[in-house]
């Protein structure tokens, strides 16, 4: 379940890689003229926007995962309930059959 990744997060990460790689830009701040090693600059506006979008996508993704986990929990509980119901029906069926057999033998 936790392995499910959001397409948006992947796409935004890919865009960042494509732009920084294609433009020989710093991977840390997205500016030109230096590389990520030892970079202390804040993110460039384009990278800042991308990071904000990615954070939102990650937050959405986390919520979706929580909703999925909730649905899975409810579905599992329902399956257990149905199984318990089935077993108790089977038990009642068996008991009735045994009672009938006992009554037939007595008669």
Q: In the complex, what is the shortest distance from the CB of residue 76 to Zn ion, in angstroms, rounded to a whole number?
A: 48
Query: Does 28 help bind Zn ion (rule: CB under 5 A)?
Result: yes
Total chain residues near Zn ion (CB under 5 A): 5
Which of the ranges 8-16, 19-27, 56-64, 83-91 carries the binding residues for Zn ion, by CB under 5 A?
19-27
Distance between CA 70 and CA 57 in Å, rounded? 20
Q: In the complex, what is the shortest distance from the CB of residue 46 to Zn ion, in angstroms, rounded to a whole number?
A: 13
Q: In the complex, what is the shortest distance from the CB of residue 42 to Zn ion, in angstroms, rounded to a whole number?
A: 9
Q: In the complex, what is the shortest distance from the CB of residue 29 to Zn ion, in angstroms, rounded to a whole number?
A: 3
Question: 3-state DSSP call for residue 41?
Answer: coil
- Tell me the two tokens of residue 105: 């033998």
Rg (CA), the chain: 30
Q: Which of 12, 16, 20, 29 binds Zn ion (CB under 5 A)?
A: 29
Query: Does 26 help bind Zn ion (rule: CB under 5 A)?
Result: yes
24 contacts 34 by C-beta, under 8 angstroms: no
- Tell me the two tokens of residue 61: 């993704």
Residues 6+ apart with CB under 8 A from 34: 26
Contacts with Zn ion, residue ranges (CB under 5 A)? 26, 28-29, 39, 41
């Amino acid at each position: 379940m936790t392995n499910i990744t959001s397409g948006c997060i992947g796409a935004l990460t890919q865009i960042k890689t494509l732009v920084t790689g294609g433009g020989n830009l710093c991977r840390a701040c997205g500016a030109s003229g230096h590389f990520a090693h030892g970079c202390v600059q804040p993110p460039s506006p384009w990278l800042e926007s991308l990071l904000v979008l990615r954070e939102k996508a990650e937050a959405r993704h986390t919520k979706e995962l929580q909703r999925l986990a909730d649905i899975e929990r409810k579905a599992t509980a329902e399956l257990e309930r149905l199984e318990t119901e089935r077993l108790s029906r089977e038990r009642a069926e068996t008991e009735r059959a045994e009672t009938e057999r006992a009554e037939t033998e007595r008669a």
